[in-house]
Amino acid sequence: KNEVEQSPQNLTAQEGEFITINCSYSVGISALHWLQQHPGGGIVSLFMLSSGKKKHGRLIATINIQEKHSSLHITASHPRDSAVYICAVGGIESNFGNEKLTFGTGTRLTIIP
Amino acid sequence: EPEVTQTPSHQVTQMGQEVILRCVPISNHLYFYWYRQILGQKVEFLVSFYNNEISEKSEIFDDQFSVERPDGSNFTLKIRSTKLEDSAMYFCASNPSGLVYNEQFFGPGTRLTVL
């Protein structure tokens, strides 16, 4: 069973700050997803990573497969970035091709104007 | 842009009653999932569905739960006799091919409240 840990659990920052959210997992995977959950509860997929780095606008996600670790960065943070950010992993090493996701507990981000 | 839809957005029911949560996945997707999130807790996998049968289910998905795709478009989750601990947000998701390399598209969720 894959354990997915995120840190920090809560993060409050001033508008414009550079944000880093971390995710570690215990078992080798095929892919890692970063998701965003807004206060209403809806979940939006931000990134899917299997190696290296991806960038969408002000969001950057990196993954180190050997260290079983990923980070999500937000540059020039804005109050509209306030949400819960969730790391989810799939394709556990012992059963590659397994399509279900195992979720972390989420990081609640609050950006103050 | 295609999206996953779910109905109802909020369902309130009495303990012991049956509920059916409905989802319409994206039309050309092949794998469908139900996840749930108890308030304040992490999202948990319930079941995956492919080719009109369950592909995998978690230990949460006991005999009280069932899924079906009755008409080729809707994907439903039925809870036969609801318990207080079934109160949660239920998310449907779909994936084009089932591979974890593909993005999973989530619906907006159904908030189930069992009284």
Question: Which amino acid does the sequence have at A97?
Answer: G
Rounded to an integer, what distance in angstroms lies between the CA atom of residue A88 and that of residue A86?
6
Whether B33 and A100 lie within 8 Å, measured CB to CB: yes
Task: Pick from B100, B103, B106, B112 the residue to mutate for testing the A interface (most A CBs within 10 Å).
Answer: B100
Rounded to an integer, what distance in angstroms lies between the CA atom of residue B21 and that of residue A85?
26
Give the pair of three-digit tokens for residue B58.
């978690």
pLDDT tens, B86-99? 999 999 999 887 66
Give the pair of three-digit tokens for residue A33.
């997803």
Contacts of A105 in chain B (CB under 8 A): 41-42
Q: Is B105 on the interface with A (CB under 8 A)?
A: yes
Q: Which of A23, A100, A66, A30 is nearest to B46 (CA)?
A: A100
Q: Is B17 on the interface with A (CB under 8 A)?
A: no
pLDDT tens, B8-23? 999 999 999 999 999 9
* Rounded (10°) CA dihedral B106, B38, A72, A50: -60
Q: Could you tell me which residues come within 8 angstroms of residue A53 by beta carbon, excluding any fewer than 6 positions away?
A: A60, A61, A62, A63
pLDDT tens, B26-67? 988 888 999 999 999 999 999 999 888 998 899 999 999 999
pLDDT tens, A6-26? 999 999 999 999 999 999 998
Contacts of A31 in chain B (CB under 8 A): 100-101
